[in-house]
Amino acid sequence: MGFNRKKVGTQTSAFGSPGRINHDSTPFYTSRLYEGLPKEKVVSYIENPIPSQYLNRIFCKTCERMEELPDNSVHLMVTSPPYNVGKEYDENLNLNEYRAFLKRVWSEVKRVLVPGGRVCINIANLGRKPYIPLHAFIVEDMLDLEFLMRGEIIWNKASSGSPSTAWGSWLSAQNPTLRDIHEYILVFSKGMFSRGSLKRKSTITKDEFLELTKSVWTFPAEPATKVGHPAPFPVELPYRLAQLYTFEDEVILDPFIGSGQAAIAAIKARRQYVGYDISEEYVRLAERRIEEFSLTFNAPKLFEFKEKRSSYRSHAKKKK
């Protein structure tokens, strides 16, 4: 005689748990390991609208004060901050000054994010003599601002066209150097792990969700010469983050928008965007690229065009 066996939930043990069925992880999260880290603060979900004249725009000004954006108005921030390594848009700040500058930006980002809103920071580490772990410093500063860290994605750029040859001492243990073929995408949320949806549409597919919830993403970098900016990330990066962390028609902010890749990703994902950049040249570049993409992306496909034309003719005949 058949019978239904009730699934028994797993629980964290001294040896870990291979499965995760109704898993009770209370013993782990109440351990002393979590002492001193930011705690979730559950609040009512608040979402203030951004005035329409400020939506889908790029502002040529510093992102340290984003007066155009109300508190609790942005759903996702995705950016790659300037690296402070002498590129044409960088300032020559020391490490403490650089961190203080970014921390002012992250604090302002926290103000404009909705409760539970996400932050995704694309960052590469620098140098070799010694190595500067920028990602570790950013994590430290974000935790100090009481963001909740959600994880880190390793962006594997191994398939990119021009691999580094800076391997140090060739075939010798004297001074071999690791060649970075990855960057980080650091993921945080404001105050809460979950956030309101207001019954908006989720546009991510099952296959995308299964792939994008993995912690390693593999796709090539974007050539600077193709975009016209010295340090662009590919549209694929913010597009994936928009699909994973926002619903349709929500707002994506890039406070260092550069060539406009995050805005293009927002349009592709049918989201809204707001961007900031201090360079008039790059604001013009971004606006031109956004306009060109929008014209192509929003143009009717041949089949749609024929369908509309047929519908128009049918309507005209009925009028006669």
| Predicted TM-score of the model (pTM) | 0.83
**Could you give the angle at the alpha carbon of 57 between the alpha carbons of 55 and 63, nearest 5°?**
100
Examine the pLDDT at 164 and tell me if it is beyond 80.
no
Mean pLDDT of the region 59-88:
89
The fraction of the chain above a pLDDT of 70, given in percent, is 78
pLDDT of residue 312: 46
Q: Are 249 and 226 in contact (CB under 8 A)?
A: no
Lowest-confidence segment of 5-9, 175-179, 197-201 by average pLDDT:
5-9
Mean pLDDT of the chain: 85
> What is residue 105's three-state secondary structure?
helix
pLDDT of residue 22: 65
| 318 vs 83, residue with greater confidence | 83
| 34 vs 317, residue with greater confidence | 34
pLDDT of residue 305: 46
Q: How many Å apart are CA 147 and CA 46, to the nearest integer? A: 17
Q: How many Å apart are CA 100 and CA 155, to the nearest integer? A: 26
pLDDT of residue 318: 53
Structural domains in the chain, CATH included, are: 44-161+176-319 (3.40.50.150)
DSSP state for residue 10 in the 8-state scheme? P
